[in-house]
Amino acid sequence: MDVSQQLNSVCTSGLLHKKVSGYTKPEEIKRRGLYPYFRVIESDQDTEVIINNKKVLMFGSNSYLGLTNHPEIKKASINAINKYGCGCAGSRFLNGTLDIHLELEEQLADFVGKEAALVFSTGFQVNFGVIPALLGRSDYLILDELNHASIIEGSRLSFAKTYKYKHNDMPSLEKILQSCDATKIKLIVTEGIFSMDGDITKLDEIVALADKYDAAVMVDDAHALGVLGDYGKGSPNHFNVTKKPI
């Protein structure tokens, strides 16, 4: 069954059906053997994986530190399943907070030198959840232009006035900060190590500008935690500015 056939079975509106059945690009790309998504992996996630019964090198993994396959982590996960089952049976708000969540959050906060931590199921949900929780319509959100899509999605949900500065360009960031109403909340969001280009943010300079213009700083350290700083404590530790980013 191809994508348009699958969509046939879910679309009842004539106009929507017409739109989705005309969307044939993925099938065309698949026919040319160039479709890069939803590749099925038949092995554990390591530097080499099995696809179509063939061993291939993995260049797309986020498990830089090999934690996905670490024997201690596997053992702890199995012990947790034995004790708690395969899920939390509820949201964190209601009946889904376990003692091991709190233990993990305390240890994570301690590791990065912060008062507290809150664990989300995915990185996307962090940005989608935290940014709108902090900002509203009258606030400013100031983003590096190469920030991850989840930060952009979070900004949309917040309704904050959103500006993008040129990638890692401090004069461009300062120009935006100068243009903001000094009495309003301003949050600068950057990645620690940028996901697409692999370059490092200028966090020390961002913090200096944030202090100058009374702005807050948020760092998405998805690719820097475990990589930069003492013992992999992340980009704030690497730049010796741990106190500033929220």
Residues that bind ligand PLP (CB under 6 A): 62, 122-124, 148, 150, 191, 195, 220, 222-223
How far is the C-alpha of 48 from the C-alpha of 41, rounded, in Å?
A: 10
User: CB 54 → ligand PLP: shortest distance, Å?
Assistant: 25
Place of tokens 């500006």: 163
**Rounded Cα distance, 110 and 133, in Å:** 23
Please identify, using beta-carbon distances, which residue of 124 and 159 lies nearer to ligand PLP.
Answer: 124
Position closest to ligand PLP via CB: 123
**Toward ligand PLP, which CB reaches closer, 128 or 163?**
128
Nearer to ligand PLP, 45 or 178 (CB): 45
- Residue placing its CB nearer to ligand PLP in the complex, 26 or 129: 129
Of 180 and 236, which CB lies nearer to ligand PLP in the complex structure?
236
Cα→Cα distances 200→152, 187, 194, Å:
19, 19, 6
Please report how close the Cβ of residue 148 comes to ligand PLP at its closest, in angstroms: 4
Return d(Cα 98, Cα 84) in angstroms, integer: 9
Rounded least distance, CB 220 to ligand PLP, Å = 5
Shortest distance, position 130 Cβ to ligand PLP, whole Å = 11
Q: How far is the CB of 121 from ligand PLP (least distance, A)?
A: 8
